[in-house]
Structure formats: C-alpha cells, structure tokens
C-alpha cells in the first residue's frame, strides 16, 4: 500500500508562531501562565503545552495574576483591555492574518458598512472580530444567509481566515445582488487555500483519505468535508487510536493530510499506524 502525505499537512505559520511564543513564555515566566482559551484547537497539543507549564483559562476571571497568552484565534477587544487593566503580563500570540481581519472589520464599521463575516458565529476567531465592529453586522456560513437582505446601501465582506475560497466567493457574489455598494476583503489565510487545494487534489488520486486534527478545529472539519466531496472514503481522526483496519482493506493508495493546528508528531504517529495496518 502506498502512503501519500500532503506537503502542507500540519501547523500553519500562525500556529507555529503561537506555539513558539507560548513555550518561550513558559521558560521566561515559569509560574502562573495561562492561555486565554485553548491556544490552538488540538487537544493533544494543548495537553503537551500543559506539561511545559501553559495551562488553559476559559475566561479572565480565572487569571488573578501572572501571564496570559492571547491564543492564535485572537481575543475580544474587551478581553484585551481587561487584561491590561489588571496589570497582567501579556503574550499576544494572535495570528497576524486574524489581526488583519480585525483591522478590516473595524475600518468597514467606521465607514458605515453593514459588515458581513463569512464564518462560524460560534468560533472564537469570529467572536474576536465582532468585538471590533461598532455598527451593524451579520455572520453567515453561506450565501443562503443573505437571501433575506435587500436594499442595503453599503455592505462590507470579510472572511474567517480558515474559510474555503469558493464559499467566500459565493457570498461576495450574493452581496452584489442585495447591496448598492460592496467592499470585500479576502482575509482567508493563503496557507489555508493552499492546504485545501493540495488536499482535494490528493483525495482525487487515492482510494482512502485520512484527515488528522482536533474535532474542535474548524479548519480540519472543513478540510475533511472538502476531501469527502471528491473521495467519499474520507475519515477525520484526532489520533492513531481511531484508525479502523477495515478502511484500508484492498486499498492500494492512501492519502494523509492534517489541519493547521495538528502537530507533526501526531501526523507521524498516524502515518506509522497506517503503515503497520498495511503490513
């Protein structure tokens, strides 16, 4: 059996940066260091970070003193201000691409636009972006969410950084039908676009596709859904323990990819386990 691993599988730039910053902070401030929410959406890597001293605080009320790390998805403006007011040491590991989306959201809001965010309303990245909007806004996962709008004077569009480009494109097209003036900023991380394209191409040429990443990871779930559209035998797993030997019965080519928050050591464990099953 041939195993093919996507070149882009695993940590993106923003996650690599956040992990490095968190580990450096743990060495510098060995006591009372917390990430505000999980640093990244991968339970196994979050657990590893706990072992080096970085614990998770779901809200600032849990951090009385010490150091707080702003996670890669970003935090709300209110949380950032509150952390400063409390005199906490701050390590801002927000992905630069997320910061750009926050900046565009703020600019569009000040310009009097109805701000449309293409993304998941429940995702922490979107929560953070929304806090920079002072006027009207709408979060939608698809173009369908704009069907009820009409006669909008000014409408601005941005995207959650891990959105699919096709979905963003569909939403932008729909805004042209409901608004007189449209300004759109493509805030999708380029690494996300490349990962999605690479993974779909790989899925087209294999008989079984494995997508590795946290079940709480939006970008991994989206990656699995995209791969499943071209290869129905696509399986999303968090760890090698979830692999099922029946998935590989009679299969000659297996593709492996992973979300942006999946560590390389976890990808290697899955690859080794698939090779073991095939032997």
Domains and CATH numbers, the chain: 2-10+191-278 (3.40.1010.20), 13-95 (3.40.50.11270), 97-184 (3.40.1010.20)
What pLDDT sits at residue 210? 98
Residues whose CB is less than 8 angstroms from the CB of residue 173 and which lie 6 or more positions away in sequence, other chains included:
143
Residues whose CB is less than 8 angstroms from the CB of residue 119 and which lie 6 or more positions away in sequence, other chains included:
125, 126, 139, 141, 159, 160, 163
- Give 171-175 contacts, CB < 8 A, sequence gap 24+: 171/116, 171/118, 171/140, 171/142, 171/143, 171/145, 171/146, 173/143, 174/143, 174/146, 174/147, 175/116, 175/146
Q: How many CB atoms lie within 10 A of CB 36?
A: 27
Q: Is the per-residue pLDDT at 16 higher than 80?
A: yes
The span from the CA of 220 to the CA of 222, in Å, is: 5
For residue 137, CA distances in Å to 108, 119, 149, 199 come to 10, 12, 12, 33
Model-level pTM?
A: 0.87
**Tokens matching residue 117:** 């965010």
What pLDDT sits at residue 26? 92
Identified catalytic residue from 125, 238, 240, 273: 125
Q: Is the per-residue pLDDT at 116 higher than 90?
A: yes
What size, in residues, is the chain? 279
Please report where in the chains the tokens 């599988």 appear, as a residue. Answer: 9
Percentage of the chain exceeding pLDDT 70: 100
- Tens digit of each residue's pLDDT (9 = 90 or more) over 63-113: 888 999 999 999 999 999 999 999 999 999 999 999 999 999 999 999 999
Mean pLDDT score, 230-245: 97
pLDDT confidence tier of residue 190, bands split at 50, 70 and 90: confident
Q: Is the per-residue pLDDT at 30 higher than 80?
A: no
What pLDDT sits at residue 62? 87
What pLDDT sits at residue 135? 93
What pLDDT sits at residue 261? 93
What pLDDT sits at residue 96? 95
Tell me, yes or no, if 85 is annotated catalytic.
no
**Tokens matching residue 120:** 């998941």
**Tokens matching residue 199:** 């993974």
């Amino acid at each position: 059996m041939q195993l093919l691993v996507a070149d882009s599988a695993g940590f993106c730039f923003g996650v690599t940066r956040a992990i490095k910053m968190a580990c450096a902070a743990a060495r510098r401030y060995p006591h009372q260091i917390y990430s505000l929410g999980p640093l990244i959406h991968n339970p196994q890597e979050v657990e590893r970070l706990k072992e080096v001293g970085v614990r998770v605080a779901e809200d600032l009320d849990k951090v009385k003193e010490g150091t707080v790390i702003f996670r890669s998805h970003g935090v709300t403006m209110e949380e950032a201000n509150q952390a400063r007011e409390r005199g906490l040491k701050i390590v801002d590991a927000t992905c630069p691409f997320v910061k750009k989306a926050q900046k565009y959201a703020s600019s569009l809001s000040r310009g009097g636009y109805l701000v449309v965010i293409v993304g998941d309303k429940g995702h922490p990245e979107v929560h953070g972006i929304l806090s920079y909007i002072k006027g009207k806004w709408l979060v939608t996962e698809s173009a369908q969410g704009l069907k009820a709008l009409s006669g909008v004077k000014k409408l601005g569009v941005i995207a959650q950084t891990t959105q699919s480009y096709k979905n963003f494109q569909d939403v932008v097209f729909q805004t042209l039908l409901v608004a007189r003036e449209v300004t759109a900023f493509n805030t999708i991380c380029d690494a996300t676009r490349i990962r999605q394209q690479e993974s779909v191409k790989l899925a087209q040429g294999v008989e079984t596709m494995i997508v590795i990443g946290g079940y709480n990871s939006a970008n991994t779930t989206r990656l699995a859904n995209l791969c499943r559209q071209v290869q129905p035998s696509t399986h999303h797993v968090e760890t090698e323990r979830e692999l099922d030997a029946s998935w590989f019965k009679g299969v000659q080519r297996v593709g492996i990819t992973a979300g942006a928050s999946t560590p390389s050591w976890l990808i290697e464990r899955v690859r080794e386990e698939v090779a073991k099953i095939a032997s």
